[in-house]
Chain A
Amino acid sequence: MIFAFDWTQLAQQIVIGLASGGVWATLAVALVLIYRSTGVVNFAQGEMAMFSTFIAWSLVNHGLSYWAAFFLTVAISFVAGVAVERVVIRPVESAPVLTVVIVTLGLFFLVNGAARWIWTPEVRSLPNAFSTRPIDVGGVAFSIQDLGNIAVSLAAVGLLWVFYRFTKLGLASRAAAVNPEASRLLGVRVSWMLALGWGLAAAMGAVSGMLTAPALASFDQNLMQPVLLYAFAGAVLGGIDSPLGAVVGTMLLGVLVNLVGTYVDWVGTELQLPVALAVILGVLLIKPTGLFGRESVRRV
């Protein structure tokens, strides 16, 4: 029996996968930023992103357009991220890693609780940032929203890359992550670089949240929990200390999860999250440094 494989569907599903992967990528990059400077995975990153999304929702509710709310929320989130580092992380800056991990777990519940306290349960949604109309590319119909999500995610990550790669402050931040003591001797205010990293991570998380919400009919305070898991899985796949790895890893994961969900009947949409967990487990067993990560060369 011969049946024609539907290439159009494959192309569509790949783009849909890239779109979700892109949204996860922004949160994954936030995780990597914190991991590189603080040495821990910030378990509260998703909740902070959720909080940002609720801020955006409030702004839209007060009459701002989606994009005005978007940029204002990014700015607010940056400031809030810096503040969180100064108030919550700074006191445990030189404490053992486990202590910091537990503090971020505490932050998870704190932020989640605060969001539940401020915003009552009700059906809420964010307007779509892009038209949901399909557009035709070479005979295949893609949704403008998916393409827009990919573009915004890549733009956000790209801007961050430009900052770290080409600005003096970005260079100093990287130095502070590599060798804090030597950096202090060069005059770098290492402690503030850490706060800057938290601010940027919070801003990236906000982007992720504000791209995640419009795709849903309604969202609540658990909005970012699956996204955090996907972002973490993607970051592990790419190498938890590599920003490029985080982007490639989440994009790959997005495509993988979506294709498995589409073509493997018994997975469907319900079992997509376990696929991500399987990826985490597989990577940690086979190649713990991920695709792009490396064991850093350090003299002992």
Chain B
Amino acid sequence: MPEALLELQEVEARYGPLVALHGISLKVDEGEVVAVLGANGAGKTTTLRAVSGMVRRSGEIVFAGKRISRSSPEALARLGVAHVPEGRGTLTDLSVRENLRLGAYVRRDRAGVREDEQRILGYFPWLEQRAGQRAGTLSGGEQQMLALARALMLRPRLVLLDEPSLGLAPMVTAEIFRIVGELNEKEGLAVLVVEQNAALAFEASSRAYVLEAGKVAVEGSSDELRRNESVRRSYLGY
């Protein structure tokens, strides 16, 4: 069996005295889209933050064969993990172009960066006309797409995507998931996506984990989970 791209084993995380994750184990293989579902406060966002080192954590986290349980966020970017955080992490006072450039901040291959920029603008053609605009003036949906485009500028091996649908109109959300799907199919991009909208998450992913109170409650292939009686009742509402 090939080694997973990302593997978490019994990962715990805490905010001060508050324990947010009680031993989570999950994995993402190369070229796979994996969804993490769950109610508010179940630990979805914390799971991503634990991977990139934005929260105090313990347990084993391995990325591309390297132990990263003690790595800082700055180091994770250098390993090729692009984290699109909750709230999109837009650098509001900077221009759209500057936001994109910073996506490739840790890269040294200038030619490759330019090439990637062109390729990425192919997915988000409107970004080109708005390049000089302050990113804070974009709409929520546009900022989410900018955040995704910026993440791609890293030429990441893994994208951590934190609730891309939050606060967005269904059509915009659908467009974002369509682009994620296309990136995965065409370029084999691996994505770990946190999402409250279970229908969307199952649609976009091949496997999924359902979190409850900081633990994995159910896991399996997305098709399986979609048919699972209790998952359906709790998260799909029918």
Q: Which residues of A line the B interface, CB within 8 A?
A: 168, 171-172, 174-175, 178-179, 181-190, 296-299
Q: A174-B91, A298-B92 are in contact. List 13 more A-B contacts (CB 8 A).
A: A168-B101, A171-B98, A172-B102, A174-B94, A178-B93, A185-B82, A186-B102, A186-B105, A186-B106, A188-B74, A188-B105, A296-B92, A296-B93
How distant is B196 from chain A, measured CB to nearest CB, in Å?
A: 18
Q: Which residues of B line the A interface, CB within 8 A?
A: 52, 54, 72-74, 76-78, 82-83, 85, 87, 89-94, 98, 101-103, 105-106, 136-137, 150, 154
Q: Which 7 A-B pairs have the closest CB atoms?
A: A182-B89, A187-B77, A187-B106, A184-B73, A297-B136, A185-B83, A178-B93
Known: A185-B73, A186-B77, A187-B74. A179 touches B102 (CB 8 A): no
Let me know if B98 and A179 touch, CB within 8 A.
no
Q: How far is the CA of A189 from the CA of B102 in the complex (A)?
A: 12
Q: How far is the CA of A128 from the CA of B92 in the complex (A)?
A: 45
User: Can you report 25 residue pairs joining A to B where beta carbons are below 8 Å apart?
Assistant: A171-B102, A172-B105, A175-B94, A175-B98, A178-B91, A179-B89, A182-B85, A183-B91, A183-B102, A184-B54, A184-B73, A185-B73, A185-B76, A185-B82, A185-B85, A186-B77, A186-B106, A186-B154, A187-B74, A187-B105, A188-B74, A188-B105, A296-B93, A297-B93, A297-B136
Q: Which residues of B contact A186 (CB under 8 A)?
A: 77, 102-103, 105-106, 150, 154
Q: How far is the CA of A237 from the CA of B150 in the complex (A)?
A: 36
Q: How far is the CA of A6 from the CA of B73 in the complex (A)?
A: 64
How distant is B109 from chain A, measured CB to nearest CB, in Å?
A: 14
Q: How far is the CA of A188 from the CA of B101 in the complex (A)?
A: 12
Interface secondary structure of A, over-half rule: helix
How distant is B51 from chain A, measured CB to nearest CB, in Å?
A: 11
Known: A181-B85, A185-B83, A185-B85. A175 touches B77 (CB 8 A): no
Closest to B101 in A: A171
Q: Which residues of B contact A185 (CB under 8 A)?
A: 52, 54, 73, 76-77, 82-83, 85, 89
Q: How far is the CA of A297 from the CA of B52 in the complex (A)?
A: 27
How distant is A211 from chain B, measured CB to nearest CB, in Å?
A: 31
Interface centre among B93, B136, B150 (most CB of A within 10 A): B93
Q: How far is the CA of A103 from the CA of B52 in the complex (A)?
A: 32
Q: Which residues of B contact A181 (CB under 8 A)?
A: 54, 85, 89
Q: Which residues of B contact A178 (CB under 8 A)?
A: 91-94
Let me know if B101 and A189 touch, CB within 8 A.
no
Q: How far is the CA of A174 from the CA of B98 in the complex (A)?
A: 10
Q: Which residues of A contact B72 (CB under 8 A)?
A: 184
Q: Which residues of B contact A174 (CB under 8 A)?
A: 91, 93-94, 98
Q: How far is the CA of A95 from the CA of B56 in the complex (A)?
A: 18
Let me know if B136 and A182 touch, CB within 8 A.
no
Q: How far is the CA of A190 from the CA of B94 in the complex (A)?
A: 16
How distant is B54 from chain A, measured CB to nearest CB, in Å?
A: 7
Q: Which residues of A contact B73 (CB under 8 A)?
A: 184-185
Q: Which residues of B contact A183 (CB under 8 A)?
A: 91, 102
Q: Which residues of B contact A297 (CB under 8 A)?
A: 92-93, 136-137
Let me know if A189 and B92 touch, CB within 8 A.
no
Closest to B140 in A: A299
Q: How far is the CA of A182 from the CA of B85 in the complex (A)?
A: 7
Let me know if A189 and B74 touch, CB within 8 A.
yes
Q: How far is the CA of A172 from the CA of B101 in the complex (A)?
A: 10
Let me know if A188 and B102 touch, CB within 8 A.
yes
Q: How far is the CA of A174 from the CA of B237 in the complex (A)?
A: 45
Q: How far is the CA of A172 from the CA of B103 in the complex (A)?
A: 10
Contact among B74, B82, B92, B106 for A179, CB-based, below 8 A: B92
Q: How far is the CA of A298 from the CA of B136 in the complex (A)?
A: 8
Known: A171-B98, A187-B105, A297-B136. A182 touches B78 (CB 8 A): no
How distant is B143 from chain A, measured CB to nearest CB, in Å?
A: 9
